Amino acid sequence: MQPTNKKLSLSWRVGRMSIDIENFTTSAESKSKEMAFKQKSARNFTLDLEFKANETPFIFSFLLQDSDNTVIKSHRKTSFCVPVGFTRGFPSPLGLSFPRDGSMNFALFSKHAKSVILCLYSDIVDDKPALEIGLDPYVNRSGHIWHASLECDPTYTRYSYRCKMAESSSGSGHSVSDPYAKIVMKGGSLLLGQLCKEPFFDWRGDVRLNIPKEKLVVYRLNVKQFTIDKSSLLPPDIAGYFSGLTEKLTHFKDLGINAVLLEPVFSFDEQEGPYFPRHFFSPSNLYGQSSQPMSAINSLKEMVKTFHANGIEVLMEVVFTHTAKSGALQGIDDSSYYFTDKSSDAANSLRCNYLVVQQMIIDSLRHWSTEFHIDGFCFINASSLLRGVNGEILSRPPLVESIAFDPLLSKTKIIADCWNPHDLASEDLRFPHWKKWAEVNPRFCKDIRNFLRGRGLLSDLATRLCGSGDKFSDGRGPSFSFNFISRNSGLSLVDLVSFSDDVPASELSWNCGKEGPTTKTTILERRLKQIRNYLFILFVSLGIPVLNMGDECGQTTGGSVSYSERKPLDWNALKTGYGIQTTRFISFLTSLRIRRSDLLQRREFLKIENIYWCGSEPVQFFSVRLRF
């Protein structure tokens, strides 16, 4: 400072409840104070201020003023604002991280945000932030990443953000969750990130099974519905949770199952269902005791470890092509994360091949693989993974290719399922695979259903028995075909042989001569034979059989094809004559696959000269009247 005889004073104040550097004059709650500098020499002026450590973080705002009332302001023509207790932080990694210096680093991608506010919550008030920190775009932004670092303070336990877009008319912006938060808890309409590290889990002794695909026998289930029914005889603190699956381990072993496929366990919108996620890095708290995030995380890890110890892999259905209609990524940067074309299938469709979204998906998959030891992923609505950033169909979608060659993910089982949760239909298309991607095979389901109702060709049956060479002879093989008869939408196995008059024609069902429930012995015997036909073909066909929850005990929805009509598994039905017989039959089929692994668990297709068909006259071979 140049020599002067004028007095210099400091007009200052502190803001804590709402720290907004750009608009500090309107958001601070403290009154301005004035203090005069002490002149040490012609060039040096000093002023001492003291603050208690527990008052941080806060903004120290000040103006310089001389005795002539000349005011020195910042380059923004406002007060100088100095953050105390928080720094600019780092743009990587995204989400909440804990550097070695004991601080907490926050990083959020938002390309089009005009301003971003970090909201911190205490345990005293659930839905209102205890502290809001406005991030300075000149200091706390690198490229399109907003970031800040705070000293760890036990006063604050959760966090979220508030983003305001340049074109937004909302004065305060939209409250949003951190898409990279590893531990989340519901706070009002938001999922709030927890300000803590993930709990330690002892994985010692856990071994990745790496079961070859051709040896898999898969059981698809819904975590809550599998044990929530009182007939499971599990205590309330276990029934319907991850720990409930562990308690029913013997059921899978009795069936000969060596892999379970979990319906999506991401945090989801409870009105829309698990196929409409709100978050991608943490299991839903609904699957943990007392709906606590730590409980859900630990019980899932314990379940995976126990299943591995018993020779069973854990696969997960994942949904990355769309989110719930609200409470997910909306408000962070919609034009980056979502397709904005209103004519698209859904307004909540994600731009999976946009670089930032693509990286988020890969980071999520790596997280589930490393932190939870998940063995594989089944990608629901996989056809939408082929869409480019403008909605065009790509022959080499970057995301699909990146997953196929990722050094970690390529060692897991990656499965494309083109079933669309919006219209509950499967799309049959050519999926780019790089000899890495397996596929859920809707042709198998269609042709077997058609044949067993007497309207299919024997040649179609032969193609499915031999591993669907029309679909997988492109450098892969039959072990890349995940075969199913029924799934968690549409008709269940027992309903396939009980309803046909009042269900959509696309279900390809046959009621065996009587619609709905009946007591006629001839009809019941015919239905039982058809069910065994379905199961026999499923298990002796080349490829991976996928059994749907409840099909082993005759679970029914009364002919409804809606996913929402699915009922919890009735464990009493397993004790009936039908349940016992069907369970034993499935167990026999799984053991048959093992005994004749040379024929039924093949990685390559059978050669034509090694196939000999018998039992049909040449003129009858293509007869549509034949039944198995």
Q: Tell whether 36 and 161 lie within a shared domain.
A: no
Nearest to 571 by CA among 127, 84, 234, 241: 234
H or E stretch covering 380: strand 376-380
What's the pLDDT score for residue 495? 96
Q: Give the span between the Cα atoms of 45 and 148, in whole angstroms.
A: 31
What's the pLDDT score for residue 58? 75
What's the pLDDT score for residue 626? 36
What's the pLDDT score for residue 342? 56
Q: Tell whether 78 and 90 lie within a shared domain.
A: no
Q: How far apart are the first and last CA of the chain?
A: 97
Q: Tell whether 248 and 380 lie within a shared domain.
A: yes
Q: What range does the domain containing 557 cover? A: 213-610
Q: Give the span between the Cα atoms of 215 and 312, in whole angstroms.
A: 12
For the chain, helix (H) and strand (E) counts, in that order, are 15, 29
Q: Tell whether 167 and 220 lie within a shared domain.
A: no
β-partners of residue 338 are 350
What's the pLDDT score for residue 125? 60
* pLDDT at 625 > cutoff 50: no
Q: Tell whether 553 and 481 lie within a shared domain.
A: yes
Secondary structure (3-state) at 393 = strand
Identify which of 33-42, 80-89, 264-273, 345-354 has the greatest average pLDDT.
264-273
Report how far apart, in Å, the C-alpha atoms of 211 and of each of 146, 218, 273 are.
Answer: 43, 12, 31
Task: Give the chain's domain count.
Answer: 3
Q: Tell whether 102 and 164 lie within a shared domain.
A: yes
List strand residue ranges (DSSP E) for 67-142, in order: 71-72, 80-84, 86-87, 95-97, 103-109, 113-121, 131-134, 141-142
Q: State pLDDT tens for residues 98-150.
A: 999 889 999 999 999 999 999 999 875 667 888 888 888 988 999 999 999 99
Q: State pLDDT tens for residues 319-346.
A: 999 999 988 999 999 999 999 875 555 5
Q: Give the span between the Cα atoms of 567 and 550, in whole angstroms.
A: 9
pTM of the model: 0.89
Report how far apart, in Å, the C-alpha atoms of 282 and of each of 13, 55, 267, 367, 577 are.
Answer: 41, 33, 7, 9, 41
What's the pLDDT score for residue 622? 41
In-domain check, residue 201: no
Other Cβ atoms less than 10 A from the Cβ of 211: the count is 17
Residue 132's CATH number: 2.60.40.10
Q: Tell whether 242 and 174 lie within a shared domain.
A: no
Q: Give the span between the Cα atoms of 346 and 528, in whole angstroms.
A: 41
Q: Tell whether 39 and 174 lie within a shared domain.
A: no
In-domain check, residue 130: yes
Secondary structure (3-state) at 368 = helix
Q: Tell whether 534 and 429 lie within a shared domain.
A: yes
**Percentage of the chain modeled with pLDDT above 70:** 90
Q: Tell whether 432 and 577 lie within a shared domain.
A: yes
Mean pLDDT score, 235-262: 96
Q: Which residues neighbour 495 within 8 Å (Cβ) at sequence distance 6 or greater?
A: 503, 509, 556, 557, 558, 559
What's the pLDDT score for residue 615? 64
Query: At 601, phi and psi to the nearest 5?
Result: -125, 60
Residue 371's CATH number: 3.20.20.80
Q: Which residue has the higher pLDDT, 428 or 385?
A: 385
Q: Tell whether 71 and 95 lie within a shared domain.
A: no
